[in-house]
Amino acid sequence: MTQNKQILLRKRPFGLPTEDTWELVKTDIPQLKDGEFLVKCEYISLDPAMRGWLDDRRSYIPPVQIDAVMRAGGVGEIIASNHPKFNIGDHVYGQTGAQQYIVTDGTGYHKVDPKLAPLPIYTGTLGMTGMTAYFGILEVGELKEGDAVLVSGAAGAVGSVVGQIAKIKNCKVIGIAGGKEKCQYLIDTLGFDGAIDYKNDDISNKLKEYFSKGIDVYFDNVGGDILEFALSRLALHARIVICGAISQYNNTTPVKGPSNYLSLLVNRASMKGMVVFDYAENYHIATQQMGQWMQQGKLISKEDIYEGIENFHETFLRLFSGEKTGKLVLKVSED
C-alpha cells in the first residue's frame, strides 16, 4: 500500500525554526467515506505567513497544533472519489498541508485547469499570493492612476505581482529588494520604474530621489526599519497596506514598531492591515482578471521550485535568507 509522507510540527520555534521544529513521518492513507475524495498533492506553497502560524498566540487564524500536519496550501490531482462534485482526474487547490496525500470532503477546495496554466502558478499568481496582491493594492491600497507606489519585498511572490498591477494601472512603481540581481530583475523584467537595494543603498536618500512629492501608496511586506523610512516620505492622504512584516517574524525580542507614526496624522494618511481570506467571495474576479493579464503578456509569473518533501525545512528557510525570487514552491509528489 502507498504510504503518505507528512511534515508534522513537533515544537514551537524560538526565533528562526530549526530542523527539529518538524518531523517527516510516514502514515497510512485512510479509507474514503461518502462525500470524500483523495488528492495526490503535487506542489505546496511556502509563504512567510507560515512562520506566524507556528506561534501559539492570537491571530487571524488558529496556530498549527503540535503533532499536526504543517498547514500549507497545495495543488494536486484527485485519484479517488466518493464525492458527487469532484471526480477522478480533476485538479484542485486547497489547504492540503505539507504532505503527499490528503483525504478531504472538499471544504475550501476549488478546481483548477492545468491546461490554462502550469500547476505551480495556482499556488502563486493564480492562488493566494495573487489574491493577496490584487486585493491588497486595489482594495486596501485604493490605487489610483498616476499614484507613486513603493513596494517592499518587491522581488518576492506578493510584491512582484503588486508592482506589476500598479504598472498596469499606469502608476510610478519603485521596488525595494535585496541585491543588485533582484533589483535589475524588477526593472528589466517586471518593468518597475526603479529599485532600491536595501543591502547596499542609502534607503533614505533613494526615497528622497524617487519620491520628491511623496509616496501615495506603500505596500509593506517587511516592516521594521523600511516601514520607518516609508513613513518619513508620505504624500498627503497616503495609504499604507500592511501585508506582512517578514523582518520581524523570527525575532527573539519584541517586534519593532514605527516610532514616527505621527506622520500618519500630519499627512492625513492611513495604515491598514489586510488578510486575503476576507476577500474569498471575490477570488474568481481576481483570478479571471489576472489570467487575462497573463495571456496579454502584461503580468509575469515566476515560481522558484524545489523538489522533495524531505527538503521542506531547508526550502522553507529560503523565505528568510533571500535565496529565492518570486513564488517559493515545493514539489512533494514522487513521479
Q: What are the distances in angstroms from CA 307 to CA 95, 219, 271, 278, 322?
A: 19, 31, 38, 31, 18
Count of the separate structural domains present in the chain? 2
252 and 324 share one domain: no
Q: Is the dihedral of CA 204, 207, 211, 217 positive or negative?
A: negative
Q: Give backbone dihedrals phi and psi of 305, rounded to 5 degrees, phi first.
A: -105, 130
- Mean pLDDT, residues 230-235 taken together: 97
Same domain flag for 40 and 158: no
* Rounded-to-integer distance, Cα 260 and Cα 251, Å: 21
The answer, yes or no, to whether residue 179 has pLDDT greater than 90, is yes
Distances in Å between the Cα of 21 and the Cα atoms of 18, 44, 67, 69, 227 are 5, 18, 10, 12, 30
Same structural domain, 223 and 240? yes
Regarding whether 236 and 166 lie in a shared domain, the answer is yes
Answer yes or no: is 205 within a domain.
Answer: yes
Least confident of 84-93, 160-169, 321-330: 321-330
CB 232 within 8 A of CB 165: no
pLDDT tens per residue, range 206-223:
999 999 999 999 999 999
Rounded Cα distance between 230 and 111, Å, is 40
Structural domain span for residue 243: 128-277
Q: What is the pLDDT of residue 292?
A: 95
Together in a domain, 135 and 113: no
Query: Does one domain contain both 195 and 241?
Result: yes
Average pLDDT over residues 68-75: 97
* Residue type for position 53: W
Band of pLDDT at residue 290, cut at 50, 70 and 90 = very high
Q: What is the pLDDT of residue 1?
A: 60
Q: Write down the pTM of the prediction.
A: 0.91
Residue owning grid cell 525575532: 251
pLDDT on residue 165: 98
Residue 197 and residue 112 share a domain? no
Residue 7 sits at the vertex; the CA angle it makes with 5 and 10, to the nearest 5 degrees, is 135
Could you tell me the pLDDT band of residue 325, with boundaries at 50, 70 and 90? confident
Instruction: Cell numbers for 53, please give them.
Output: 502560524
pLDDT in tens, 109-159: 999 999 989 999 999 999 999 999 999 999 999 999 999 999 999 999 999
Give me the mean pLDDT over the 222-243 stretch.
Answer: 96
